[in-house]
């Protein structure tokens, strides 16, 4: 059972129609010297400069996500300024100076993601909307593993302004509906993904 709070960010699972997720990503530039850690499983956004940054709102109906929110960060590549070697990392270390830094982003708005909630989520929440449990920051992840610790808020709602739709639950020997920290499957709501909303960046 998912009885321990051990959030891991957002993990791509499949597509909303049941098709498999084939691992496709888009490479988007990270500004040299960007001073915030970006962890594997973090929600990210394209900003006005045309680069990727971590989303720092929780996606509820009062703040929402930025118009440029484009998906989930799953790693990066850059030339390490200390070794001058091309480097692949689970996370982007804050302050890294590299003109060739690029993020790998799962940007398909039809991808379904697995995420742990910060409390129990009941079967009746299927089809409800949800948002992040807390605002992402440079500390919402592990610089050792490179993985995010972002979680979903277990308080669900029908409010259209919430960022995610709960489409299923993880049913496995280690996770069930209603567990203390339920593993759920979600997708971006249309207004919360840059490719589906009508507002430009």
Q: What is the pLDDT along the chain (201 residues), one digit of tens a residue?
A: 578 899 999 999 999 998 999 999 999 999 999 999 999 999 999 999 999 999 999 999 888 999 999 999 999 999 999 999 999 999 999 999 999 999 999 999 999 999 999 999 999 999 999 999 999 999 999 999 999 999 999 999 998 889 999 999 999 888 899 999 999 999 999 999 999 998 888
- The answer to whether residue 72 is domain-embedded is yes
Residue 81 lies in a domain: yes
Residue 201 lies in a domain: no
How many domains does the structure of the chain reveal?
A: 1
Taking the whole predicted model, whether its pTM rises above 0.85 is answered as yes
In a domain, 178, yes or no: yes
Nearest-10 Cα torsion for 99, 103, 107, 113 = -160
Please report how many Cα atoms fall inside a 13 Å half-sphere around the Cα of residue 39, on the Cβ side. Answer: 23
Q: Do the domain assignments include residue 157?
A: yes
Q: Does residue 5 lie in a domain region?
A: yes
Whole domain around residue 51: which residue ranges? 1-196
């Amino acid at each position: 059972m998912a009885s321990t709070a051990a959030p891991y960010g957002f993990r791509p699972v499949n597509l909303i129609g049941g098709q498999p997720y084939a691992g496709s990503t888009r490479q988007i530039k990270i500004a040299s010297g960007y001073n915030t850690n970006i962890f594997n499983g973090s929600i990210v956004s394209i900003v006005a400069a045309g680069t990727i940054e971590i989303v720092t709102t929780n996606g509820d109906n009062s703040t929402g996500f930025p118009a440029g929110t484009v998906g989930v960060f799953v790693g990066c590549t850059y030339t390490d300024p200390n070794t001058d070697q091309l480097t692949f990392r689970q996370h982007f270390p804050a302050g890294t100076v590299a003109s060739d830094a690029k993020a790998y982003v799962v940007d398909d708005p039809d991808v379904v993601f697995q995420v742990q909630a910060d409390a129990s989520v009941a079967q009746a929440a299927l089809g409800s909307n949800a948002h992040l449990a807390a605002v992402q920051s440079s500390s919402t992840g592990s610089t050792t593993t490179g993985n995010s610790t972002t979680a979903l808020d277990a308080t669900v709602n029908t409010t259209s302004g919430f960022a995610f739709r709960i489409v299923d639950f993880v049913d496995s020997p280690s996770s069930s509906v209603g567990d203390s920290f339920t593993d759920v499957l979600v997708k971006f709501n249309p207004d919360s993904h840059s490719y589906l909303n009508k507002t430009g960046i």
